[in-house]
Structures are given as structure tokens and as C-alpha cells.
């Protein structure tokens, strides 16, 4: 008897099973409950796979603060040697003897760049004579004597040796920039503010002939205003140069352009 025939006999001897009854459904549900419970137990009690450690990135160290080179100190002898070589003018030497040369240089440069007249820092060059105006027909114009008050100032500027001034600028660059930043510009650039100051001076308007003004009140202490609206709208530096007169303004502007070229700054266009 082969295996196929044996399977047929075993099936015949067992007989046919009747359809499911009510008890059968209970058994099925019980079996499902047991199997389900066992599966749940196995799922919750199965050995957990070994946890894979997630590498923890090391905290990124903060970027080191930029190292600022300490300002190289300039000795009194070196300062005097650099500054005295700039001009042999006696009024200029008087300015040097007033002290705080580096700080005053930084303030004057900042004033000019911002369009503020630096006369407070250059008080030794302030004219002693009063501003005067004269009549031209029915107009009031700036008198020649008012322009002459600034001849000394223009001559001091004109006496500056450009090469010596550039040597002083470069030799004192560190202290000058530190003094400029101490004015409230912690990231300020001395070169940038110097270029702006020279440009403002070199590009200021110049007026030949009569400049018409009007008094803002009676008496010798009256404040005068420019009648031409385009002149009255100018900034303090431009107005101050106008009050110096065309001759003095051109002397100062010529020196400013020479310094621009010597320092390698862009040259301002010539004033009209």
C-alpha cells in the first residue's frame, strides 16, 4: 500500500465533521483570546533589540574673538619729530604746544567729515576781528576785510609739507585711529573718515565777486545770513570756507587735493 492509499483510509475512518455549532464559536473565540493574549505577552516581553547609541555631537566651541593688535605707543620725541616736520609756521608750532595733538587731530578730522566747523578745536586760529559787511548800492555784501581775517589760517595750511604730513599720518595711524574710535566709532576707519574730510574741503563751493548777505539783527554782534538760498542751505564747513573768501578757500582746497593724492584717496572734483 502506498502513501496515497493510506491517506484515503485514514480520512474514511474519521468520518465527516458536522458544521459549526454554538459551542464551536465559543471555542474559536477562546482560542483567539488565548492566542491574542499570548501574542501580546510575547510582544511586550520579547527581548528588546540592543539600542543603538545616537552619537551626541560635541558642542561647537564659540568662535574666538578677533584679536585686536594693541596700539603701539608713540613716544613724545617721535611725536614731536613727526609733527614739527609738517610745517615751520609759527602759528602751527603754537598749535603743537597746546598739547593733545593726536586727540585734536582726530576731532578736527571727524568734524570736517561730518560737516561741522572745527573752529572750537582750532581756537588759536580764530580771527580776532569781527565779521564785517559793506554796502554795494542797495545790497549788503561781505567786506574784503572779513575775508582777510582768515589769511593767516590759509597760509598755515598752505605751509604744510605734504610728504611730512603723510609720514606723520602713517607714523601715528594707530594712535590716531584709537583716538577717533574713542569719539564713539568703535569700528571706525581712520582712512575712511580722513578721505571724507578731505573730500568735503576740496569740493566746497567757491564764490568770486560779491557775496550778498543780510543782517539778522541790529548792532555789530548781528548774525549774518546768505541771501542766495543755495548758499544758505550749505553745511557749516561750506559756509565757513565761503566766509574765508575765494583766495583763502582755494589755497586750502589745493592742499587738501595734494594730501588726497599723496595718501592714495580718490580726488574730489574741483569746486566750481
140 lies in a domain? yes
108 lies in a domain? yes
Identify the residue whose cell numbers are 548774525: 223
* Main-chain phi, psi angles of 128, to 5 degrees: -85, -25
Task: Say if CB 184 and CB 171 are below 8 A apart.
Answer: no
What domain count does the chain have?
1
* 234 three-state secondary structure: coil
SS (H, E, C) 246-258: HHHHHHHHHHHHH
44 lies in a domain? no
6 lies in a domain? no
**Is beta strand 139-142 parallel, antiparallel or unpaired with respect to 133-136?**
antiparallel
Identify the residue whose cell numbers are 567757491: 206
Q: How far apart are CA 151 and CA 154, in angstroms?
A: 5
225 lies in a domain? yes
pLDDT in tens, 180-192: 999 999 999 999 9
pLDDT value at 23 more than 70? no
61 lies in a domain? no
pLDDT in tens, 141-169: 999 999 999 999 999 999 999 999 999 99
pLDDT value at 47 more than 60? no
- For residue 211, give its domain range: 76-263
**Alpha-carbon dihedral of residues 211, 212, 213, 219, nearest 10 degrees?**
100
Task: Say if CB 170 and CB 86 are below 8 A apart.
Answer: no
Identify the residue whose cell numbers are 496515497: 4
104 lies in a domain? yes
How distant, in Å, are the alpha carbons of 29, 148, 229 from that of 232?
104, 22, 5
Chain mean pLDDT for the chain:
78
Share of residues in the chain with pLDDT > 90 (%): 56
Task: Say if CB 204 and CB 239 are below 8 A apart.
Answer: no
Q: Poorest-confidence range of 56-70, 89-103, 142-156?
A: 56-70
Mutual orientation of helices 246-263 and 151-158 as an angle, nearest 10°?
20
pTM: 0.70
118 lies in a domain? yes
Instruction: Name the burial class of residue 178, with classes exposed (0-12), middle (13-18) and buried (19+) by CB atoms within 10 angstroms of its CB.
Output: middle
Q: How far apart are CA 37 and CA 33, in angstroms?
A: 6
DSSP symbol at 123: G
Please name the helix (run of DSSP H) or strand (run of DSSP E) that holds residue 36, with its range, or none: helix 22-45
- Which residue from 31, 186, 181, 171 is spatially nearest to 103, judged by alpha carbons? 181
Amino acid at each position: 500500500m502506498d502513501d496515497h492509499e493510506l491517506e484515503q483510509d485514514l480520512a474514511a475512518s474519521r468520518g465527516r465533521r458536522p458544521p459549526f455549532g454554538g459551542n464551536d464559536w465559543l471555542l474559536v473565540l477562546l482560542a483567539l483570546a488565548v492566542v491574542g493574549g499570548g501574542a501580546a505577552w510575547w510582544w511586550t516581553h520579547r527581548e528588546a533589540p540592543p539600542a543603538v547609541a545616537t552619537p551626541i555631537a560635541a558642542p561647537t566651541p564659540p568662535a574666538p574673538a578677533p584679536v585686536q593688535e594693541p596700539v603701539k605707543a608713540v613716544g613724545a620725541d617721535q611725536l614731536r619729530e613727526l609733527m614739527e616736520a609738517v610745517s615751520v609756521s609759527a602759528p602751527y608750532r603754537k598749535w603743537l604746544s597746546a598739547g593733545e595733538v593726536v586727540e585734536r587731530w582726530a576731532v578736527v578730522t571727524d568734524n570736517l567729515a561730518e560737516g561741522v566747523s572745527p573752529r572750537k578745536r582750532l581756537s588759536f586760529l580764530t580771527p580776532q576781528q569781527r565779521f564785517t559787511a559793506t554796502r554795494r548800492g542797495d545790497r549788503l555784501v561781505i567786506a574784503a576785510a572779513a575775508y582777510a581775517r582768515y589769511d593767516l589760517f590759509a597760509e598755515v595750511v598752505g605751509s604744510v609739507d605734504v610728504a611730512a604730513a603723510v609720514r606723520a599720518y602713517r607714523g601715528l595711524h594707530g594712535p590716531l585711529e584709537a583716538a577717533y574710535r574713542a569719539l564713539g566709532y568703535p569700528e571706525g576707519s581712520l582712512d575712511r573718515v580722513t578721505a571724507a574730510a578731505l573730500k568735503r574741503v576740496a569740493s566746497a563751493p567757491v564764490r568770486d565777486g560779491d557775496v550778498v548777505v543780510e543782517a539778522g539783527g541790529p548792532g555789530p554782534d548781528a548774525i549774518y545770513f546768505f541771501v542766495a538760498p543755495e548758499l544758505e542751505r550749505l553745511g557749516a564747513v561750506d559756509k565757513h570756507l565761503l566766509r574765508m573768501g575765494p583766495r583763502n578757500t582755494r589755497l586750502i582746497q589745493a592742499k587738501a587735493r595734494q594730501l588726497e593724492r599723496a595718501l592714495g584717496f580718490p580726488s574730489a572734483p574741483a569746486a566750481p
